[in-house]
Amino acid sequence: MPDYRRHRVPGGTYFFTINLLERRSDFLVRHVDALRAAVKRTGEDRPFHIDAWVVLPDHMHCIITLPPGDDDCSNRIKAIKIRFVRAMPPHERRSAVRVTKGERGIWQRRFWEHVVRDDEDYARHIDYIHYNPVKHGCASAVVAWPYSTFHRWVAVGAYPTGWGGDGATDVAAGERR
């Protein structure tokens, strides 16, 4: 069995990629209200700050910061996934293994996590999250995608409205204009 080791940083800032099992599905955006409710409820039970988030049809990326002294990011992600699954009727296909284990067939079992190291790493990941709908062809401009914290970042002046879709930004270089 693989030995998954997570780098635990109390009060740390973490980047996550969380995938649906069916990667060609639009399940997350069809049920975005249930996902939002799962995130909100988890944040009420186990506080965290949402730095950035984007929900795409079949996966999502986020950056969260934990409270000082708290390093339990994994159980927050687990709680979000469980709450979302419980809000969905059981209509998805499941493998024999998942049926035997009593598991639903919505999420991939694991998720990808990265501890944000410094301000430059943070800025790169924030840009990556916000540009992701354009990268995956979900929108022609970042501002056109409604399931993202990009609009919140524009409101506080961190990005211009046209960032990431009008040629004003080189996302690979992490430049904001």
Active site residues: 147
DSSP, collapsed to helix, strand or coil, labels residue 170 as: coil
Sheet holding 13-19, edge to edge: 49-55, 59-65, 13-19, 112-115
- For the chain, give percent helix, strand, coil, nearest 5: 40, 15, 45
Contact between 50 and 18 under an 8 Å Cβ cutoff? The reply is no
